[in-house]
A and B are shown apart, each in its own frame.
Chain A
């Protein structure tokens, strides 16, 4: 799992690349939470277009970061979810809670 974080004007952008299973989620969680604590953002954007596998542990990671963002007064958005991410979010029925946006350039 490759994790890159970038903060600009109160927006923390986190890009994940690889397989978002329980193994990948543990590492990603630590990195993302450290970045949230360090930058105190107003908005967290998880860019998930390069996540080629996602199971319920990945869903747990997204939900957990949603709560973490909320706890510091920030919002959380999932940007450009891959097919793998989208099918899990849809199955969970959390489409109302987890906001998704598309850049439109993919």
Chain B
């Protein structure tokens, strides 16, 4: 295969999934389990699996706690996953909730909208630290989409 063809192949998802589920805290573990099952075929290490599960958990928790303010039982979260030929996994977590006014500030370590101290303010920091890529798109009143990229199995061959 030519170098260009290789590159093109790497850019195309070899497998995808889409899930839609209620914005309930009990589904945080459901989302983690779904993503771990999806990436299992890439034979991730224990640490790679823990990284991606934790990052997904943070994003889904944000949808429930912030996007929907814990109160919208009928609200839904959309979870999409793609595996690429080069071993990259891209996970998208999307809500149609309140949105974030200032994404840059929200992503600062220890920044929290709950100064009473029950929330650590470390969600985005955890996502950034445990993934190879983190993108956040948000519009007030429309919702938030978080895109996580994780390389699985790189440097092991």
Number of A-B contacts (CB under 8 A): 70
B118 neighbours in A (Cβ, 8 Å): 29, 60-61, 64
B28 in complex: contacting residue of A23, A61, A64, A83, CB < 8 Å: A23
Residue interface mask B49-70, A partner, CB < 8 A = 1: 0100110011001001100000
The count of chain A contact residues (Cβ–Cβ below 8 Å) is: 23
Spot the interface stretch: B77-85, B121-129, B141-149.
B121-129
| CB–CB A91/B126 < 8 A | yes
Q: Kindly identify, within residues 1 to 57 of chain A, every residue whose CB is under 8 Å from any CB belonging to chain B.
A: 19, 21-23, 26, 29, 53-57
Tell me how far the C-beta of B56 lies from the nearest C-beta in chain A, rounded to whole angstroms.
9
| CB–CB A92/B122 < 8 A | yes
Check A56/B123 contact, CB under 8 A, given A21-B57, A64-B118: yes
- Nearest B residue to A92 by beta-carbon distance? B122
- Whole-angstrom CA separation of A92 from B61 in the bound complex: 18
Check A22/B64 contact, CB under 8 A, given A53-B53, A63-B117, A87-B50: yes
Say yes or no: is A79 at the interface (Cβ < 8 Å to chain B).
no
Say yes or no: is A102 at the interface (Cβ < 8 Å to chain B).
no
Say yes or no: is B32 at the interface (Cβ < 8 Å to chain A).
yes
Say yes or no: is A76 at the interface (Cβ < 8 Å to chain B).
no
- Nearest A residue to B46 by beta-carbon distance? A83
Say yes or no: is A67 at the interface (Cβ < 8 Å to chain B).
yes
Q: Which A residues fall within an 8 A CB radius of B? A: 19, 21-23, 26, 29, 53-57, 59-61, 63-64, 67, 83-84, 87-88, 91-92
Given A21-B57, A60-B122, 5 additional A-B pairs, CB 8 A = A55-B61, A55-B126, A60-B119, A67-B117, A88-B122
